[in-house]
Amino acid sequence: MHIDFFMEIDEELVRCRPCGYVMKESELNGGVCPACGLPHNVFEPYRERVSANRLFILSLDIHPIAIHLSQTFVGLIPLLIMFHYVFPGYREQMIHSVIDFSIFMLPLSLILSTISGIVDGLTRFKTLKTPLLVSKIYYSIAIMIFSFAQWFTSTPGEYDLITLALSGVSLFCAVKLGLMGKKLLDVILPGTYQIRKKKKAKPAPRPVVPIPKAESLDD
């Protein structure tokens, strides 16, 4: 459910029942669904169940953007190392520079991805302890370790099998993370996100009102 953040809250929303597309009622105006093309009579009134500020944070797409950055590096490293093995002399200097740069940048981009992932997870689910997020955290820690190991063990210009293996397992973790993340893109818990839960003051115990006995009522 991707809704334009600038959609005003009081605006009447409608949802296409067959495909789930949400839009302003005023924009539908008797036309067809922009997503699936079905006529306006398949639409039903819709109420947004997520607060505007949470939708705004997600609409910035910080996590998907950060991820694309690290995906570029994590994919380039094993690919170019294998290329270097097969064609050792071809554009050697350029290939080596790109590999070295990617090995240098991968851990940094992963830090960015991790921070944005934490923000994204908290915004969506208000906790990081959901089963899928816990798995994502484990894979993130693993890819971080492998990428830093690559950083410290690789020698520029010489790419041994250890570097190739480390880049391979990093890529495996990235693919696993990507597949898990894809499932989470369209899920979100309803309500407003409170950064810090205020401890609710315990309500004073209600005085117990004695139920008058039937006999006393009769008096």
Q: Of 71, 74, 76, 12, nearest to 44 (Cα)?
A: 12
DSSP secondary structure, 105-139, as one string:
HHHHHHHHHHHHHHHHHHHHHS-S-SHHHHHHHHH
Tokens of 140: 């993130």
Q: How far is the CB of 49 from Zn ion (least distance, A)?
A: 19
As a whole number of angstroms, the distance between CA 133 and CA 139 comes to 10
Residues 2, 26, 35, 85: which binds Zn ion (CB under 5 A)? 35
Residue bearing tokens 């093995």: 85
Do residues 5 and 59 touch, judged by C-beta distance below 8 A? Answer: yes
Q: How far is the CB of 47 from Zn ion (least distance, A)?
A: 18
Q: Which stretch binds Zn ion (CB under 5 A): 3-11, 27-35, 44-52, 170-178?
A: 27-35
Residues 13, 14, 16, 80: which binds Zn ion (CB under 5 A)? 16
Q: Is 128 in the site for Zn ion (CB under 5 A)?
A: no
Total residues binding Zn ion (CB under 5 A):
6
Q: Which stretch binds Zn ion (CB under 5 A): 21-29, 43-51, 133-141, 207-215?
A: 21-29
Q: Is 14 in the site for Zn ion (CB under 5 A)?
A: no
Of 25 and 100, the one with the shorter C-beta distance to Zn ion is 25
Residue bearing tokens 């830090």: 111
Residues 19, 111, 115, 134: which binds Zn ion (CB under 5 A)? 19
As a whole number of angstroms, the distance between CA 117 and CA 62 comes to 8
Of 41 and 216, the one with the shorter C-beta distance to Zn ion is 41
Q: Which residues, at least 6 apart from 25, have a Cβ–Cβ distance to it below 8 Å? A: 11, 12, 13, 14, 43, 45
Q: Is 36 in the site for Zn ion (CB under 5 A)?
A: yes
Residues 22, 23, 28, 33: which binds Zn ion (CB under 5 A)? 33
Of 18 and 157, the one with the shorter C-beta distance to Zn ion is 18
Of 18 and 178, the one with the shorter C-beta distance to Zn ion is 18
Q: Of 98, 31, 111, 121, nearest to 66 (Cα)?
A: 111
Q: Which residues bind Zn ion (CB under 5 A)?
A: 16, 19, 21, 33, 35-36
